Amino acid sequence: MMNFRLVKSKIVALLAAEEAGRYRTIGYQHQRESAEENLDSDRSVQVFYQRGTLPKSTGGISGPHKHNMVFMLELTASKVAEGQLDVLENPASTPAQIIAAIQTFQAASSLADDSVDELIEIVYQIIQDARNIDFGLELEVPPIYVSSRNIETITKHQPLPKGDVVTITAAMEIECTMDEQVLGETGTDYESTDTVLDIKGDDVEKTGVLVNEP
């Protein structure tokens, strides 16, 4: 397994181990729970391998190569604007009622904003904790170490209303560097079949085709 896949799996495992009921780690097996019971605290974090660079100056074609990896953490938090959606959808609603309904969505957006901010803080502290500097890879046999590792950017997106729920997402990018070994890919074994073509005027019968069959 290449190291970028190993690092991703370790980040997922680290986040899952530190949940403590504060969020869910997507891609990690959990017991099923209803969204209604957990909407406010059912924040989520998902890990993606975003991109990488492997400068050719860092190794020959057969490796090893320095792999500058970037992983994205997508954070999601939602809040409910309770009991006001029907007012916005009702053409008979008065201007005062509509204003009050809009304010409930603004309040839900503010709550979702605070929730995702708190989640950013939680995840930042977990990832940047010096005890987690190698994402647990130092416990492998033999131990594996990560270099130049840091959270480089944090981006928060606009509130997204859907029905009576307001959702806000944020993204955190983790950069780190590790060596990637080139172990090669197992090819397919072929059997050779030598076929001679009988061509008129070719008494020596030197014309043939060598066919490789799997």
Q: Which helix (H) or strand (E) holds 120?
A: helix 95-128
Quick: pLDDT tens for 28-59: 655 554 444 345 557 999 999 999 998 877 66
pLDDT of residue 187: 56
Radius of gyration over alpha carbons of the chain, in Å?
28
Q: How confident is the model at residue 104 (pLDDT cuts 50, 70, 90)?
A: confident
| pLDDT of amino acid 67 | 93
Residue 55: cis peptide before it, omega within 30 degrees of 0 = no
Which pLDDT band holds residue 27 (cuts at 50, 70, 90)? confident
The first and second tokens of residue 69, run together, are 């990896």
- Please determine, looking at this structure, whether the domain spanning 3-189 carries the CATH number 3.90.120.10: no
